[in-house]
Amino acid sequence: MSKTNPKRLDLLDRASAMLQGKALRDASPLQDQRILPPRPKRFSSIAVLEKSNHDRLEDLIPIRYSRMLTSPFSFLRGSAALMADDLSRTPSSGIYVQACGDCHLLNFGAYATPERKLVFDINDFDETLPAPWEWDVKRLATSFVVAAEDSQLSKSSAQRIAKICAQSYRENMRAYSKQSPLEVWYGHLDLAKFAKEAPNKSSRLHRESLIKKAEKQVAEYLFPKITTEVNGDKRLIDNPPLIYHLDDRWIEKIGKTAVESYRASLSHDRKVLLDRYQLKDIVVKVVGIGSVGTRCFVALFMTPDGDPLLLQIKEARNSVLEPYAGKSQYHQHGERVVVGQRLTQSSSDVFLGWMRGPKGKDFYVRQLRDMKVSFSVQDITPTRLKRYAVYCGQALARSHAKSGNAALISGYLGKSDVFDEAVSLFAMEYAEQNKRDYEELVQAAKTGKITTA
């Protein structure tokens, strides 16, 4: 997908696409990718954050701010709308892909394919939308700098890691540009293979521990930990204000109607599978940082024999990229999220679907956790963060190659490290901007301009 003649670019042969990509450097030089244009006069980061609170559950907004105040990295995670505004003013080659939209290092991780194989990929698509590929790369590289500095790594180490991330993206994009569309489509990053290819025993044991942890993130394992028995029926356990029940009549009046709407989005074989389960309970669940205040539910389904199925029903709102990249072609934002996820992930959840609630809110549905594990930002070392940056850069390149024209992007990027260096410098500068925005939020909390939990 590209802003420049999007209809025919996918049918260019590789050599022509490479040349056309290289020609784009005339209008948007690689070294200009380091530029972070100044914000408009009277710009307020707090005003952007407050605007992003529109239509969130008001009682939960203080929790969102409290989580963002934990650290500059937590702030970055919760301020996708703010960075989208800044990225919209940065230089771009004009090539569009199905962008993640909130591409930071904790939105990558391991999860199970329908065949129960653990793969590594992007795992958050709330903001997905066709947009310039550079926006994802720059947000990802910036997240590595901010995470590194949060962990007291030196600025030189932080910049090196950001450069490694961009280099991995560039080199892997070139590799994907030489593959057929089917090879890219079928490609995946196997977590078991990563474990076998670990450079030393310590790394191998660490990766194997992640695999074991993931294998426990399934409904059968979670079910006894998060449920209790009430009058002979299984119920999800309350933990207010983060997990709580609504009125029991809500399940009968709204919950079952919503499930029927979700069921309609599934293919026939998935409907057959879902029909073997019956809705038993629903709770409200507060999730993430940027998502706090949006409507999110966990639904418990069970078979007559007591086998559990846990689904997460998450509100899908307007993408933060829409004001700058254009509106979605899908009328339901749940469908936007699901289609974007299927288009970019190597393999997606069998229960992935969407629905519109009785009050007109859009949602997407997926299994709760289902062998999902994420990178831990605790005890970060430069070596571990560098390796993770390589994996994230590769996963992002595969994602963009699947939805976009890999040869066109690779032609623009070239073989030198000019782009890598430019992105690392951008990431360093934006990390400083992020720090200033974070301090502004800290000050707003101290003066009572915002309310925290």
- The reply to whether 408 and 422 lie within a common domain is yes
Instruction: Map tokens 């394919």 to a residue.
Output: 113
pLDDT digits (tens, 9 = 90+) for 319-373: 999 999 999 999 999 999 999 999 999 989 999 999 998 788 999 999 987 777 7
Q: Quick check: 151 pLDDT over 60?
A: yes
Task: Calculate helix-pair angle for 155-177, 14-23, nearest 10 degrees.
Answer: 140
Distance CA 53, CA 318 (A): 12
Q: 367, 389, 416 — which closes off a domain? A: 367
How many Cβ atoms are within 10 Å of 335's Cβ, its own excluded?
Answer: 20
Residues 6 or more apart in contact with residue 276 via CB below 8 angstroms? 303
Residue 373 maps to a domain? no
- The reply to whether 235 and 109 lie within a common domain is no
Percent of the chain as helix, strand, coil, to the nearest 5 = 50, 15, 35
List the one residue out of 430, 447, 444 whose CA is nearest residue 65. 444
Residue 452 maps to a domain? no
- The reply to whether 224 and 261 lie within a common domain is yes
Q: 367, 392, 424 — which closes off a domain? A: 367
- The reply to whether 399 and 267 lie within a common domain is no
- The reply to whether 298 and 226 lie within a common domain is yes
% of the chain at pLDDT higher than 90 = 74
Helix H or strand E segment including 47: helix 45-52
Residue 4 maps to a domain? no
- The reply to whether 192 and 45 lie within a common domain is yes
% of the chain at pLDDT higher than 70 = 94
Residues 6 or more apart in contact with residue 142 via CB below 8 angstroms? 76, 83, 104, 162, 426, 427, 430, 431, 434
pLDDT for res 250 = 67
- The reply to whether 309 and 383 lie within a common domain is no
Assign 1 a pLDDT band (cuts: 50, 70, 90): very low
How distant, in Å, are the alpha carbons of 161, 339, 426, 429 from that of 145? 7, 31, 10, 10
Task: Name the domain count of the chain.
Answer: 2
- The reply to whether 176 and 29 lie within a common domain is yes
pLDDT for res 13 = 93
What is the pairing mode between strands 308-315 and 296-302?
A: antiparallel
- The reply to whether 288 and 415 lie within a common domain is no
- The reply to whether 75 and 178 lie within a common domain is yes
Instruction: Report yes or no: 136 and 100 within 8 Å, Cβ to Cβ.
Output: yes
Q: What is the span of the domain harbouring residue 296?
A: 219-367
pLDDT for res 218 = 66
Distance CA 191, CA 43 (A): 43
- The reply to whether 342 and 392 lie within a common domain is no
Instruction: Report yes or no: 164 and 393 within 8 Å, Cβ to Cβ.
Output: yes
Instruction: Please give the model's pTM, rounded to 2 decimal places.
Output: 0.93
List the one residue out of 49, 43, 47, 44 whose CA is nearest residue 290. 49
Residue 257 maps to a domain? yes
Residue 3 maps to a domain? no
Give the residue-averaged pLDDT of 209-229: 78
Residue 2 maps to a domain? no
Assign 241 a pLDDT band (cuts: 50, 70, 90): confident
Distance CA 154, CA 168 (A): 21
pLDDT for res 378 = 76
List the one residue out of 216, 194, 162, 150 whose CA is nearest residue 378. 150
How many Cβ atoms are within 10 Å of 70's Cβ, its own excluded?
Answer: 14
Q: 367, 400, 430 — which closes off a domain? A: 367
- The reply to whether 313 and 384 lie within a common domain is no
Distance CA 400, CA 184 (A): 10
Residue 453 maps to a domain? no
Instruction: Report yes or no: 404 and 96 within 8 Å, Cβ to Cβ.
Output: yes
